[in-house]
Amino acid sequence: LIAGFAAMLLALVSVIADPKVLPSPSALYFSTRLGTAMLWLAPLFVLQICIHEASHLLAARARGVRVRFGISHRLWLLVLETDMSGIWMLPREQRYLPMLAGPFMDAFTVSLLLLTLTGASHHWISLPIITVAIVRALTIIYLYQILWQCFLFIRTDFYYVIANYFGCRDLMADTHVLLLNALARVTGRGRIEDQSGLTAMERKASRGYSVLWVLGRVLVVYVLVFVQIPLVWRYLKLIGRSIVAAMSGTAMSKPELLVPVVFTVLTFALGMFLWLRSLRVPVRGTRVSTSSDRARAGQAR
């Protein structure tokens, strides 16, 4: 923890001193040497996910809690999940480290990447141009993984920390009911559900969390519309040019053509398909007395 916080502080100081060290989302686009970049970024991205989940695992096992892994999707992204249901048997103050271990490791790693970019920009270390480009892209990936935890309309790691702090049995369900009740009052349509069974703290927490819930929706739409879709579109155009070049006899090398298809477009399309298939209109009145038990059995992603 000390080493991690020290690295974060140094990275923050380096970014404040030289904001140009922080890469922009355009660092994820490679117009040249795409095959080389993707062949490095694809396994490094998988490694990043594994390290994130392994951090949850190690922190949970340190508390004597067993975990399980699984593959699912969060919105349109494929994810690896760590089921840490057993941490709800621990005292409240002992749950934070297992919950935050993944984001903490992400922040630690992105700090090391930023320090590497700082060293390269000041010529303290010498790195090939393609290596710097890969480090910049990986930095953006890590930053977006941390940003992902702020999409608080889904059960992210930060969601569980907030719910644990306020001692809520099912903060997400309580917030959904609160928002639907508010919508029913404004429109005059729908049934208003009784929330008198909530404690004063749960009512207060759900009111505050409803703001974060809405902001999370706005944030994820912004990232999808202004970052991910334009990035995929640029790669689609690059693939189109590659196909035209292949048909004219001046084809790019095979990795240049196949890697972006496999790791960018197809992965995005599969995640989007799973997300759209899972969308459904929530049915009111389905919250039952065992909702808190379901929350305690939730997956801490």
Q: Are 206 and 175 spatial neighbours (Cβ–Cβ below 8 Å)?
A: yes
pLDDT given for residue 238 in this prediction: 77
Measured between alpha carbons, how far is residue 229 from residues 73, 122, 219, 269 in Å? 18, 34, 14, 11
Position 94 confidence tier, pLDDT thresholds 50, 70, 90: very high
Q: What is the DSSP letter of 225?
A: I
Minimum mean pLDDT range among 35-44, 206-215, 240-249: 240-249
Q: Which two tokens stand for residue 202?
A: 């749960």
pLDDT at 73 over 80: no
Give the residue carrying structure tokens 């196909």. Answer: 243
pLDDT recorded at residue 216:
93
From the number of C-beta atoms within 10 Å of its C-beta (0-12, 13-18, 19+), residue 101 rates as buried
* Position 281 confidence tier, pLDDT thresholds 50, 70, 90: very low
Among candidates 173, 162, 165, 179, which has minimal Cα distance to 198? 173
pLDDT confidence band for 204 (50 / 70 / 90): very high
Contact 98, 59 (CB under 8 A): yes
Residue found by looking up tokens 């969060």 in the block:
74
Q: Between 274 and 153, name the one with better pLDDT.
A: 153
Band of pLDDT at residue 293, cut at 50, 70 and 90 = very low
Decide if pLDDT at 122 tops 80: yes
End-to-end CA distance of the chain: 20
pLDDT of amino acid 296: 37
Determine the Cα–Cα distance for residues 290 and 292; give it in Å rounded to an integer: 5
Taking each helix axis from N to C terminus, what angle separates 96-121 and 34-62, rounded to the nearest 10 degrees?
150
Task: Identify each DSSP E strand in the chain by its residue range.
Answer: 68-74, 77-83
Please state, rounded to an integer, the average pLDDT across all residues of the chain. Answer: 83
Phi-psi region of 154 (alpha: psi -120 to 50; beta: other; left: phi over 0): beta
pLDDT of amino acid 286: 36
- Residue 217 binned pLDDT confidence (cut-offs 50, 70, 90): very high
Contact 26, 136 (CB under 8 A): no
> pLDDT category, 96, cuts 50, 70, 90?
very high
pLDDT in tens, 237-275: 877 777 777 677 655 545 555 555 555 566 667 666 766
What pTM value is reported for the model? 0.80
- For residue 123 the two structure tokens come to 């010529």
Kindly tell me if the per-residue pLDDT of 292 is higher than 70: no
